[in-house]
Structure 1
Amino acid sequence: MIIELHPPRSAGRLELAATGDEIVATMRQFGEPEVLCRAAGDRAGWCVTHPSGLFLSAYFDADDRAEAIELGRPTDPGVAVTYGGLDIFQTPAADLVEALRRTTRVLEEENGHSYTAPDLLLALWRPTTPEDPDDAEGNYFESVLIAEPGYYDKAQPASTTAG
């Protein structure tokens, strides 16, 4: 299975701006959706874990329209999440960031744990960074998020590096 990211429109069959009911119906194709609570005061979202380990979640605006979709790393190597021909979870983080910088701005945040491509409305995250080039820990991203225009406008990036 391949899920192609098309920011800011869709992640595979999950469409940004879709209603909560539409998102839940699409998520049922991957497993049984569950309510996802992020933080106090935030609107609830929906999530599902596919048998491959792929985690899918959707976050909603005040009108119950999906404003962001996040995918977490699958454990099954037969499942890929791709953007522009690159496998988000199987391409080493440094290589993925370099490839993105060839075509768009990429902002490094959280000391290399997070990268945002604001013009694509795409964000990447990993829980740790490698201590040295031979360190396997942190060499790959654990999640990717796509969003609608305006979603990232609230945050100020820590540093800017254009490619």
Structure 2
Amino acid sequence: MDLAVQPTRGVGDIRFGEEFSAVAERLRPLGDLQVAAPAPGNSAFKATLALPDFEITVLVDNGTHVTAVEVWRFERDDADVHVTFGNLDLFRTPARELTARIEEMGHGSDSP
């Protein structure tokens, strides 16, 4: 599976601001989509799709629209999963190299 991280737009075919119901329709055929109930008095919730090689968590802060996407690293290095930003493989590129390359692209870094 290939997922491209697109800041301000989304991850893969999940778009920030998109209705969660549409995202859920696309994710459910891939596996067991677990939707956590919102806390009392709060409309925010998260949904997690746990696949054999990695997890995707979709966060919905206002009860209806996607506000964030988290992709959890796979455990096996030979997993057929590629999470990319530009031409960088985010989970296989060593951290220092990744940070330097992202900064070269003109993006800031929170790393010391």
Instruction: Determine if the alignment matches structure 1 residue 107 to structure 2 residue 110.
Output: yes
- 1:75 CA displacement: 3.2
Corresponding residue of 2:48: 47
Query: Structure 1 residues 96, 17: CA separation in 2 closer, same or farther (over 3 Å shift)?
Result: same
Runs of 4+ in 1 over 6 A off after TM superposition: 37-40
Corresponding residue pairs, total: 108
Letter in 2 for 1:35: V
Instruction: Please give the alpha-carbon distance, in whole angstroms, between the structure 2 residues aligned to 1:38 and 1:93.
Output: 34
Instruction: Determine if the alignment matches structure 1 residue 23 to structure 2 residue 26.
Output: no
Does structure 2 retain, via aligned residues, the 8 Å contact 1:54–1:72?
Answer: yes
Letter in 1 for 2:49: V
- Structure 2 unaligned segments of length 5 or more: list them: none
Normalized against structure 2, the TM-score is what? 0.82
Corresponding residue of 1:90: 92
Between Structure 1 and Structure 2, the one with more helix by share is 2
Instruction: Please give the alpha-carbon distance, in whole angstroms, between the structure 2 residues aligned to 1:22 and 1:88.
Output: 26
Report percent identity of matched pairs. 22
SS in structure 1 opposite 2:110?
strand
- 1:39 CA displacement: 7.6
Normalized against structure 1, the TM-score is what? 0.59
